């Protein structure tokens, strides 16, 4: 792997530094000076319409950002990723989530293996399972069809399928529901299993490694719950696990050790990162819920953006431009956070999903050659659906002192068209908020405008909106499986671009290991081993002591 280019030593960085020091954002001026601005800076990628005109962008900035991509070798790294080179250097792995959505007619041999053939082999098995569950052919131990699918997993083995299931609720088969157990807090399983009938429940244990404490603990708890529930109903429990448990993992040996029938195990590969895995067998719960045809459309959406990212010219390339803009805001304007604000209730888990995708990928302090990063990396991604966010934290985005670039996402056609008795179209009211917020953030409200409304002088400043807050608006015709796939792939590639510019390995996650290890090591101290307790620092010992003294 080539040594990373230090972005701060490029000619483009010097240009951007100079531009930034002279740049005072003024969207009122920009839009007045250039009536074509919206058109000039709007782009299309598959079904996505992306308006970058309310970003800190002009022709000089655009040229310098594209030059930065050139000089840091973003396109070459993208090609290396698509080709299956081991760009995840610290784990010595290819990074091939794009192979998960290639058509069966493609060929890609990586490390001596035809990965596209492998992908389609598993996909067909997942589709077969989905068809059998959906048709009622797959039955539980008492012969009843499955009504509830419980996905047990955490991180990428939970957030992707959980988010996508919520996003695609209108496509879920009537009479089927999915639940998602992730937290090791027993309250999670306790609440999710409430009201569920063991006779009609299928558990899917999803774990790339099949060693994750939370998932295996929850899987064991669910197995006991299932067996005792069946026994209480007088159902024969011998062989019941194979009718109520399937597993998804790269570690099929561990799956077998857990007692899952290999016929019920769905593999994937170490070249799929957990946070990039919703379109592998990790999405089995989703495939069951929405059906193989919709799942295939979902994959098609990813593929459309993969192709766009690979083929669109740089100045039209949406993931490239959005990734570069994020670098621009983070490194030249000190933006520490980035808001993602979907105007769709169905996307209520999308910000949480993006948190793992972006922050586990780019929250790094060393580059892929082990040297220190030379720039800030990894903004905090956060967000909430509109309009709920408006009534909670938009105050800070409009009038706070920090710069928070924000992505607004909306759809032209709703799944629930509602017109109230006086003829008001509720979706239009909703979208009115989406249009208004990006407008208000860009153009603000001056003191003169506030005064002109007769506002008492003492509160004029409090009512001024400075404006010039950068936003990107993403619109699509409707939130379909394909469009959801497009949105996910868009953010996957944005994340890639940022990591490539910063010179980091976006595909490892060593930062999660220390706490996991310590949690294991603390077991004896927590359960009362006095020597182990005495070996702790005073804070940890105090906290454990509090727990031991107060647990009922």
Residues found near ligand F6P in the complex (CB under 6 A): 154-157, 207-209, 212, 215, 274-275, 360, 509, 512
Smallest gap from Cβ 304 to ligand F6P, in A, equals 25
Q: Which residue out of 360, 379, 384, 492 is catalytically annotated?
A: 360
Smallest gap from Cβ 350 to ligand F6P, in A, equals 17
Per the annotation, the verdict on 236 as an active-site residue is no
Per the annotation, the verdict on 391 as an active-site residue is yes
- Comparing C-alpha atoms, which of 485, 159, 488, 492 is closest to residue 290? 485
Distance between CA atoms of residues 317 and 321, nearest Å:
6
Distance between CA atoms of residues 348 and 341, nearest Å:
9
421 preceded by a cis bond (ω within 30 of 0): no
- Indicate the residue among 249 and 326 with the shorter CB distance to ligand F6P: 249
Compute how many other C-beta atoms are within 10 angstroms of the C-beta atom of residue 104: 12
Backbone angles phi, psi at 519, to 5 degrees: -60, -40
What does the angle CA 496 – CA 497 – CA 498 come to, to the nearest 5 degrees? 95
Backbone angles phi, psi at 311, to 5 degrees: -115, -25
- Comparing C-alpha atoms, which of 65, 30, 97 is closest to residue 305? 97
Smallest gap from Cβ 277 to ligand F6P, in A, equals 8
Per the annotation, the verdict on 520 as an active-site residue is no
- Indicate the residue among 241 and 281 with the shorter CB distance to ligand F6P: 281
Distance between CA atoms of residues 354 and 337, nearest Å:
13
Q: Length of the chain in residues, anyone?
A: 552
Smallest gap from Cβ 506 to ligand F6P, in A, equals 12
- Comparing C-alpha atoms, which of 54, 42, 298, 34 is closest to residue 163? 298
Alpha-helical segments (H) within 359-480: 361-362, 394-399, 426-443, 447-452
Residues 6 or more apart in contact with residue 340 via CB below 8 angstroms: 350, 351, 354, 381, 382, 383, 406, 407, 409
Tokens of 117: 């053939």
Smallest gap from Cβ 159 to ligand F6P, in A, equals 8
Distance between CA atoms of residues 547 and 461, nearest Å:
49
- Indicate the residue among 154 and 321 with the shorter CB distance to ligand F6P: 154
Smallest gap from Cβ 223 to ligand F6P, in A, equals 17
- Indicate the residue among 55 and 508 with the shorter CB distance to ligand F6P: 508
Smallest gap from Cβ 207 to ligand F6P, in A, equals 3
Q: Which residue out of 9, 18, 391, 428 is catalytically annotated?
A: 391
Backbone angles phi, psi at 107, to 5 degrees: -130, 135
SS3 labels along 165-227: HHHCHHHCCCCCEEEEECCCCHHHHHHHCCCCCHHHEEEEEECCCCCCHHHHHHHHHHHHHHH
- Indicate the residue among 309 and 353 with the shorter CB distance to ligand F6P: 353
Work out whether strand 245-249 and strand 177-181 pair parallel, antiparallel, or are unpaired.
unpaired
- Indicate the residue among 53 and 284 with the shorter CB distance to ligand F6P: 284
Yes or no: say if 229 and 195 are a contact pair by the CB < 8 Å rule. Answer: no
Yes or no: say if 362 and 429 are a contact pair by the CB < 8 Å rule. Answer: no
Which string of b and e fits 62-98 if b means at least 16 CB within 10 Å?
bebbbbbbebbbbbebbebbbebbbbbbebebbbbbb
DSSP assignments along 466-535, one per residue? -----EEEEEES---HHHHHHHHHHHHHHHHHHHHHHT--TT--GGGHHHHHHHHHTHHHHTT-HHHHHT
Which string of b and e fits 204-237 if b means at least 16 CB within 10 Å?
bbbbbebebebbbebbebbbebbbebbeeeebee
- Indicate the residue among 350 and 394 with the shorter CB distance to ligand F6P: 350
Smallest gap from Cβ 221 to ligand F6P, in A, equals 16
Distance between CA atoms of residues 99 and 82, nearest Å:
8
- Indicate the residue among 58 and 270 with the shorter CB distance to ligand F6P: 270
Smallest gap from Cβ 154 to ligand F6P, in A, equals 5
- Indicate the residue among 306 and 360 with the shorter CB distance to ligand F6P: 360
- Indicate the residue among 204 and 406 with the shorter CB distance to ligand F6P: 204
Smallest gap from Cβ 351 to ligand F6P, in A, equals 17
Yes or no: say if 133 and 114 are a contact pair by the CB < 8 Å rule. Answer: no
- Indicate the residue among 156 and 414 with the shorter CB distance to ligand F6P: 156
Smallest gap from Cβ 524 to ligand F6P, in A, equals 23
Catalytic residues, by residue number, are 360, 391, 516
């Amino acid at each position: 792997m080539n040594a990373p280019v230090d972005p701060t030593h490029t000619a483009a960085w010097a240009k951007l530094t100079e531009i930034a020091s002279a740049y005072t954002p003024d969207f009122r001026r920009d839009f007045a000076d250039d009536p074509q601005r919206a058109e000039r800076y709007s782009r299309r990628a598959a079904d996505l319409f992306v308006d970058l005109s309310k970003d800190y962008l002009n022709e000089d900035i655009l040229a310098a950002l594209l030059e930065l991509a050139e000089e840091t070798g973003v396109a070459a790294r993208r090609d290396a990723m698509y080709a299956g080179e081991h760009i995840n250097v610290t784990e010595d792995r290819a990074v091939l989530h794009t192979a998960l959505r290639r058509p069966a007619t493609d060929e890609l041999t990586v490390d001596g293996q035809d990965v596209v053939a492998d992908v389609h082999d598993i996909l067909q098995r997942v589709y077969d399972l989905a068809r059998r569950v959906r048709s009622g052919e797959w039955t539980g131990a008492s012969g009843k069809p499955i009504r509830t699918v419980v996905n047990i997993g955490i991180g990428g083995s939970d957030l992707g399928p959980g988010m996508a299931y919520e996003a695609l609720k209108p496509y879920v088969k009537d009479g089927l529901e999915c639940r998602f157990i992730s937290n090791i807090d027993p309250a999670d399983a306790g609440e999710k299993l409430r009201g569920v009938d063991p006779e009609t429940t299928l558990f899917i244990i999803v774990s790339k490694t099949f060693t994750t404490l939370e998932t295996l603990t929850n899987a064991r708890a669910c197995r006991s719950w299932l067996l005792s529930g069946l026994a209480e109903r007088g159902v024969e429990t011998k062989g019941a696990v194979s009718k109520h448990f399937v597993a998804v993992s790269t570690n099929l040996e561990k799956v077998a050790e857990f007692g899952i029938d290999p016929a019920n195990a769905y593999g994937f590969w170490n070249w799929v990162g957990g946070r990039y895995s919703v379109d592998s067998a990790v999405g089995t719960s989703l495939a069951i819920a929405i059906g193989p045809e919709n799942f295939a459309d979902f994959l098609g959406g990813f593929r459309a953006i993969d192709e766009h990212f690979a083929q669109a010219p740089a100045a039209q390339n949406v993931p490239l431009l959005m990734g570069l803009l994020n670098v621009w805001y983070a490194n030249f304007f000190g933006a520490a956070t980035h808001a993602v604000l979907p105007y769709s209730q169905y996307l209520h888990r999308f910000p949480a999903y993006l948190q793992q995708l972006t922050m586990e990928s780019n929250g790094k302090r060393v580059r892929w050659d082990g040297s220190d990063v030379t720039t800030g990396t990894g903004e905090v991604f956060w967000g909430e659906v509109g309009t709920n966010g408006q009534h909670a934290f938009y105050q800070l985005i409009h009038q706070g002192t920090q710069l928070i670039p924000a992505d607004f996402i909306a759809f032209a056609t709703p799944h629930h068209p509602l017109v109230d008795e006086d003829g008001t179209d509720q979706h239009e009211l909703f979208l009115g908020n989406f249009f208004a917020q990006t407008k208000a953030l860009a153009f603000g409200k001056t003191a003169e405008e506030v005064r002109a409304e007769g506002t008492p002088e003492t509160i004029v400043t409090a009512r001024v909106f400075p404006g010039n807050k950068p936003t990107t608006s993403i619109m699509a015709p409707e939130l379909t499986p394909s469009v959801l796939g497009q949105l996910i792939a868009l953010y996957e590639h944005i994340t890639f671009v940022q990591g490539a510019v910063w010179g980091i390995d976006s595909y490892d996650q060593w930062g999660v290991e220390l706490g996991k290890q310590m949690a294991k090591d603390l077991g004896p101290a927590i359960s009362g081993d006095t020597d182990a307790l005495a070996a702790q620092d005073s804070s940890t010992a105090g906290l454990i002591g509090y727990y031991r003294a107060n647990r009922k």
